[in-house]
Chains A and B, each alone.
Chain A
């Protein structure tokens, strides 16, 4: 109870004046169910008087009913929020807790420590200044301690508290404490070179070294936990960095005012400062820093402001206003670290949305270079990333963005990945550096271009993309159509799923990841063929909407014709020309489309072909008429 101030009673105005200007520290607590993490947080709340009498009454009742501390108060019950968690006795999500002392206000991200909650821990760590790592004095540094240290430092935390808890159970032994600390220092060298570590011996349950120096550990002369939290510098290195502000909202109340609203991600700014807007690179100078409380002479990292410029620079949401003397980099290809957060694994080659700052772009993520085993910190081979897995990979965007490496600026280098179908947030990423590859490999300028090649053949190139279930009749129809086109003197080529898998794609199987890669390669080949002026018939099951969209995007406008060979599953299965359905039903073939792997029918195909009651020749005729109508065959 020493955390409150007599001024509350004697002079509330003076108290409030004093407390209006507290600083704010955000920290994360990492630990597993039985490390005493919830007990520690419960005690911090309790000791800082954040627990009211009604809560205390229900806490006392709950402690007797479901607590693990006999007749004593079970502080952990204070923070185990959701009913599901209370039943299972574990913490399953990030919870945010608040308390204040006379010196500071604190926001605690309380996260579970098991490996399956890595994503929750990373989320909590992303905004924290300090991490408290809970260690059971009886057990010492465990695998999970390494994991927690790795994740928190990965996300950029450089101040760690080693909370060696349950010292009461090892007789407050200095030897035990020193051994644990030595172990940790050995290991911490691998994490980062600029870590600041404070080890504190404590007992959350007994209240040792939490808010006061305890006699039980006379050999320890460091701060107690609260002292540390109240005095650790909240060094905001963003303040000294060059100016950055992502434009969140263009502020146009009338024709005479055009401002750019955003939260400053780094540095300071004054009217008259020269800036650039990225990615365009246009220069201007700051005219005013507008806020509802009047114009400012200076603004700095963390503030939400509105900037006006002295020139009519056209800028929109997602642009970044940066110092002209020290601008951010601009690129569309990066090496990144990704933490995967979805039950559905990463599909390399598939397009995801990437949100960074106020900008959302489309990203194609390449197969990981390697994964990182978060328990041993070793590199491990990885073809994809599963839930909670961390990997290093490269990605490319559909447009260039301004960025700083994550290790220099969290807001300018951290991004999330969003699945375009489910809208879920599936990954968290950190930009390491831009790849120079794109700028170094120039397109060969070719004199005989695609238009000339097509004209020579008297046709308009196109990709006729046949999609449908196995046995739906794609290849048969494509074949019939090619004969008709050939007879008309047209230049064509068929890319057939089975055939391509014997050569170009023979290294690929039928997992979702491989299916995506299969289509990526084939669509690139098809694109080259249209560049050669050919009418290309692609006959692939291509079960996923997203990959067909990827293929569509790769082609020139209007040259992608999606043809859904719409044969119902039961009909295709009945035909079973290759006997594959029978095998799939018998479990001899895995990942068979329509049986144990999904088929996503096109929503708006250019053509939908019904094969029930129609011959392949009839279908070919239908497609031919479509091509004539659209002018692909005009001489």
Chain B
């Protein structure tokens, strides 16, 4: 088997294990490329049946417009139930990255929003598209990652996962985050997207787009919520995005990579890691571990 075949077979096994053993699983769909691969794997794992769980998107209301269009179309095409959760408390308080800063915005609209959604639907297992190669503390996270009833992660209480045996038992109120792409790398993801011809949001491909420089990174002027004094500095550049999130928090990279091959080539030749474009990591080196203990995915 090739490395992609082995990774695929392992992910299918994980998806089926959750569907068999958990009562009320959900797939967290972030609309990015990793989510696209995870969704594709879910379609394969249960074929010819439909995957026996819904999709859920925690919408911070600041996602790229193209992501939302893509999300709704994809879910309908594949026949998934799509649950969209928005933290209404945050909306009421007008929380957003421009007014409240990236940390507060992420905390309220993303982390708190996710907890609300999991509590609301009482999901006992949630698939996420995280990979171990993304970041140092992820490298030690298990495929099945347990959360207390308060959604906290305790790195000292991880369960051993020998062979392909996963212990999925939890107490009422506890939940599991499951990462079927744990062993995939960024390159694997791109190679697989290419091999399987998986559709991804066009923002990953370079195109002339209006960007402004905010907090040291180029961000897309995606709608009229960009403050006027910043928006008026917009210039058209050929850019693309290596990760997709909230548009004010996602740095564009100047690029002319318009095809999958171009993107992979660019990735193999450039020397910055993909999380670099995310504003939330920049705080301090242990920031992701801290966020995860608090319940960030």
Q: Taking beta carbons and an 8 Å cutoff, which residues of A are in contact with B?
A: 4, 8-9, 12-13, 16, 19-24, 52-56, 58, 62, 79-84, 86, 93-98, 100, 104-105, 107, 119-120, 122-123, 126-127, 155, 248-249, 251-253, 257, 259, 261-263, 290-293, 302-304, 306, 317, 341, 353, 355-356, 358, 410-411, 414-416, 418, 423-425, 428
Q: Is the interface of A mostly helix, strand, loop or mixed?
A: mixed
A-B contact count (CB 8 A): 183
Give CA–CA (A94, B185) in the complex, Å.
Answer: 18
* A98-B133, A415-B165 known; A21-B2 Cβ under 8 A: yes
Give CA–CA (A257, B163) in the complex, Å.
Answer: 31
Stretch in contact with the other chain, from B26-34, B100-108, B117-125, B187-195: B187-195
Give CA–CA (A19, B272) in the complex, Å.
Answer: 22
Q: By the criterion CB–CB under 8 Å, are A425 and B261 in contact?
A: no
Contact with A along B121-139 (1 / 0, CB 8 A): 0000000000011001101
Q: By the criterion CB–CB under 8 Å, are B269 and A9 in contact?
A: yes
Q: Is B155 positioned at the interface, with any CB of A under 8 Å from its CB?
A: yes
Q: Is B216 positioned at the interface, with any CB of A under 8 Å from its CB?
A: no
Q: Which residues of A sit under 8 angstroms from B48, Cβ to Cβ?
A: 251, 253, 257, 259, 290
Stretch in contact with the other chain, from B15-23, B53-61, B69-77, B83-91: B15-23
Q: By the criterion CB–CB under 8 Å, are A93 and B140 in contact?
A: yes
**Leading 7 A-B pairs by shortest Cβ distance:** A304-B12, A24-B3, A126-B162, A53-B271, A292-B47, A83-B286, A52-B273
Q: By the criterion CB–CB under 8 Å, are A54 and B164 in contact?
A: no
Q: Is B13 positioned at the interface, with any CB of A under 8 Å from its CB?
A: yes
Q: By the criterion CB–CB under 8 Å, are A81 and B139 in contact?
A: yes
Q: Please, which residue of chain A has its CB at the minimum distance from the CB of B186?
A: A98
Q: By the criterion CB–CB under 8 Å, are B2 and A16 in contact?
A: no
Give min CB distance, A317 to chain B, whole Å.
6
Q: Which residues of B sit under 8 angstroms from A24, Cβ to Cβ?
A: 1-3, 6-7
* A54-B273, A95-B139, A251-B46 known; A414-B16 Cβ under 8 A: no
Q: Is B45 positioned at the interface, with any CB of A under 8 Å from its CB?
A: yes
Give CA–CA (A155, B165) in the complex, Å.
Answer: 14
Q: Please, which residue of chain B has its CB at the minimum distance from the CB of A429?
A: B162
Q: By the criterion CB–CB under 8 Å, are B2 and A23 in contact?
A: yes
* A23-B3, A96-B132 known; A248-B20 Cβ under 8 A: yes
Most buried by B among A24, A107, A155: A24
Give CA–CA (A65, B195) in the complex, Å.
Answer: 44
Give min CB distance, A530 to chain B, whole Å.
33
**Which of under 10, 10 to 19, 20 to 34, or 35 or more describes the interface residues of B?**
35 or more
Q: Is B159 positioned at the interface, with any CB of A under 8 Å from its CB?
A: yes
Q: By the criterion CB–CB under 8 Å, are B20 and A358 in contact?
A: yes
Q: Taking beta carbons and an 8 Å cutoff, which residues of B are in contact with A?
A: 1-10, 12-13, 16-17, 19-20, 43-50, 132-133, 136-137, 139-140, 155-156, 158-165, 167, 169-171, 182-183, 185, 187-188, 191, 194-195, 261-262, 264-265, 268-273, 276, 285-286, 289-290
Q: Which residues of A sit under 8 angstroms from B169, Cβ to Cβ?
A: 353, 418, 423
Q: By the criterion CB–CB under 8 Å, are A126 and B163 in contact?
A: yes
Q: Which residues of B sit under 8 angstroms from A84, Cβ to Cβ?
A: 155-156
Give CA–CA (A550, B285) in the complex, Å.
Answer: 50
Q: By the criterion CB–CB under 8 Å, are B191 and A19 in contact?
A: yes
Q: Please, which residue of chain A has its CB at the minimum distance from the CB of B47?
A: A292
7 A-B pairs in the complex with CB atoms less than 8 angstroms apart: A16-B264, A22-B3, A24-B3, A81-B139, A97-B133, A127-B162, A341-B160
Q: By the criterion CB–CB under 8 Å, are B4 and A20 in contact?
A: yes
Q: Which residues of A sit under 8 angstroms from B136, Cβ to Cβ?
A: 79-82
Contact of B49 among A62, A82, A251, A428 (CB under 8 A): A251
Give CA–CA (A82, B290) in the complex, Å.
Answer: 10
Q: Which residues of A sit under 8 angstroms from B187, Cβ to Cβ?
A: 100
Q: Which residues of A sit under 8 angstroms from B171, Cβ to Cβ?
A: 423
Q: Which residues of B sit under 8 angstroms from A428, Cβ to Cβ?
A: 160, 162
Q: By the criterion CB–CB under 8 Å, are B264 and A303 in contact?
A: no
Q: Please, which residue of chain A has its CB at the minimum distance from the CB of B170?
A: A423
* A98-B183, A105-B3, A248-B17 known; A410-B155 Cβ under 8 A: no
Contact of B262 among A12, A22, A356 (CB under 8 A): A12
13 extra interchain contacts, Cβ-Cβ under 8 A, other than A8-B265, A251-B49, A253-B50? A8-B268, A9-B269, A12-B264, A81-B140, A82-B140, A93-B155, A126-B162, A127-B164, A290-B48, A302-B6, A355-B167, A423-B170, A424-B167
Give min CB distance, A124 to chain B, whole Å.
9
Q: Which residues of A sit under 8 angstroms from B183, Cβ to Cβ?
A: 96, 98, 107
Contact of B13 among A58, A248, A253 (CB under 8 A): A248
Give min CB distance, B190 to chain A, whole Å.
9
Q: By the criterion CB–CB under 8 Å, are B2 and A20 in contact?
A: yes
Q: Which residues of B sit under 8 angstroms from A120, Cβ to Cβ?
A: 160
Give CA–CA (A106, B228) in the complex, Å.
Answer: 49
Q: By the criterion CB–CB under 8 Å, are B6 and A292 in contact?
A: no
Give min CB distance, A167 to chain B, whole Å.
28
Give CA–CA (A281, B286) in the complex, Å.
Answer: 54
Q: Which residues of A sit under 8 angstroms from B270, Cβ to Cβ?
A: 52
* A81-B136, A81-B140 known; A317-B20 Cβ under 8 A: yes
Q: Please, which residue of chain A has its CB at the minimum distance from the CB of B269?
A: A8
* A98-B183, A414-B163, A423-B167 known; A249-B16 Cβ under 8 A: yes
Q: By the criterion CB–CB under 8 Å, are B182 and A96 in contact?
A: yes
Give min CB distance, A443 to chain B, whole Å.
34
Q: Which residues of B sit under 8 angstroms from A257, Cβ to Cβ?
A: 48
* A20-B2, A304-B8 known; A410-B20 Cβ under 8 A: no
Q: Please, which residue of chain B has its CB at the minimum distance from the CB of A427?
A: B160
Give CA–CA (A423, B276) in the complex, Å.
Answer: 38
Give CA–CA (A319, B13) in the complex, Å.
Answer: 16
Give min CB distance, A114 to chain B, whole Å.
16
Give CA–CA (A249, B46) in the complex, Å.
Answer: 9
Give CA–CA (A82, B132) in the complex, Å.
Answer: 13
Q: Which residues of B sit under 8 angstroms from A127, Cβ to Cβ?
A: 162-164
* A12-B265, A423-B170 known; A303-B5 Cβ under 8 A: yes
Contact of A81 among B45, B137, B194 (CB under 8 A): B137
Give CA–CA (A100, B44) in the complex, Å.
Answer: 26
Q: By the criterion CB–CB under 8 Å, are B132 and A425 in contact?
A: no
Give min CB distance, A457 to chain B, whole Å.
43
Q: By the criterion CB–CB under 8 Å, are A98 and B185 in contact?
A: yes
Q: Please, which residue of chain B has its CB at the minimum distance from the CB of A156?
A: B163
Give CA–CA (A341, B162) in the complex, Å.
Answer: 12
Q: By the criterion CB–CB under 8 Å, are B137 and A290 in contact?
A: no
Contact of B139 among A13, A97, A105 (CB under 8 A): A97
Give min CB distance, A250 to chain B, whole Å.
9
Q: By the criterion CB–CB under 8 Å, are A54 and B139 in contact?
A: no
Q: By the criterion CB–CB under 8 Å, are A95 and B160 in contact?
A: no
Give min CB distance, B39 to chain A, whole Å.
12
Q: By the criterion CB–CB under 8 Å, are A304 and B13 in contact?
A: yes
Q: Which residues of B sit under 8 angstroms from A122, Cβ to Cβ?
A: 160, 162
